[in-house]
Structure 1
Amino acid sequence: MLKYDDFMKLALNEAKKCSRKKEIPVGAIIVDEFKNIISKGYNKVEEKNNPLYHAEKIAIDKALLKTNKRYLDNCDIWVTLQPCEMCMGMIKQVRIKRLYYGASIPHSSIKNKINNRVCSEIYSGIREDECSKLIKDFFKKIRSD
């Protein structure tokens, strides 16, 4: 069985797929109550030319299709970056039980809104240094090009 830290490592692997595609490197993994991975996703905003194609949305869509359920209330989501307000809304709507994320968004207006009304449990800072470095390196490269 995978350990908790391993799920964020897998989310990081998803995020790294973005760098080849000039996408902001964010990855997401959804696991069921038995800790089986049921879906993965990474940002595809540029690829799809659609601002809604965030890693969380892609992973949630895949999980709903795979489980053939309306809600993911026995599932957890692992994301390399603190979810934006849109993604937090989706996480709430599908009733994901636990949210784990790596890097926080500095000065985020949503930071104070993240609470137990979205998920029953929220954990931050998992592999935070790796998650933050991935984002920082991406933006350094974009600015230097």
Structure 2
Amino acid sequence: MKNNELISDDILLNPAEIRAHEQFMQEALIEAQKAYDIGEVPIGAVIVQEGKIIARGHNRSIIDCDPTAHAEIVAIREACRIMSNYRLPKTTLYVTLEPCTMCAGSFLHTRIDTVVYGAGDSRNGALGTNLNVNDYKAFNHKLTIIPRVLQEECSTLIKTFFKERRTKNEE
């Protein structure tokens, strides 16, 4: 059995925890594929509480004509309805791409405990790549952030999508 692995500056996970995070990220990848299949940017999310998925979401901004319909927001809306609460304490959100500032702000409002993401986002990432919402002292909620879970798989899906899109635009 492997030793514990340092995931970020202050997150040390054992092999069982890593496997669990990878399994839930696989579920987020299934959601991302759904977005891909309908022509949306392939980002998927799941929300987990007590080891069970309580909500799923994938990007729907184009199909819903709603710029806020990011995978994370879609999953949060579903989870809030299911829980009959606008707060989601003791939950973990898994998402295939590092969230933007809008989505990161929603995590603070809903009191999600932990966010696990796959690929970093060099353009819009708000959980460490460009900025980190945890760095703002004015916010009264801090997230546990676990980056780069199944990073390669998550990154490949997004890169493939945009490569296909560029190829279609050139035709």
Deviations, residues 98-133 of structure 1 (Å, cap 9, x unaligned): 000000012447332243756431010000000000
Identify which of structures 1 and 2 has the higher relative contact order when contacts are C-alpha pairs closer than 8 Å and 6+ apart.
1
1:6 equivalent to 2:23? Answer yes
Q: TM-score, structure 1 length as denominator?
A: 0.92
Check whether the contact 1:99–1:119 (CA below 8 A) recurs between aligned residues: no
1:105 match: 121
Specify every segment of 5 or more residues in structure 2 that has no aligned partner in the other structure, as ranges. 1-18
Check whether the contact 1:115–1:122 (CA below 8 A) recurs between aligned residues: no
| RMSD over aligned Cα atoms | 1.6
Cα distance in 2 for partners of 1:119, 1:137 equals: 33
Alignment of 1:1-145 (within 5 A): 3-32=20-49, 34-108=50-124, 110=126, 111-115=130-134, 119-145=142-168
For 1:9, give the aligned amino acid.
Answer: Q
* Percent identical: 35
For 1:121, give the aligned amino acid.
Answer: T
Q: How many residues align?
A: 143
Deviations, residues 21-79 of structure 1 (Å, cap 9, x unaligned): 110000000011x1111000000011111111100000000000001112101111000
Specify every segment of 5 or more residues in structure 1 that has no aligned partner in the other structure, as ranges. none
Check whether the contact 1:77–1:100 (CA below 8 A) recurs between aligned residues: yes
Deviates further, 135-144 or 67-76: 67-76
Cα distance in 2 for partners of 1:45, 1:108 equals: 16
Check whether the contact 2:88–2:110 (CA below 8 A) recurs between aligned residues: yes
Cα distance in 2 for partners of 1:106, 1:29 equals: 22
Cα distance in 2 for partners of 1:70, 1:23 equals: 27
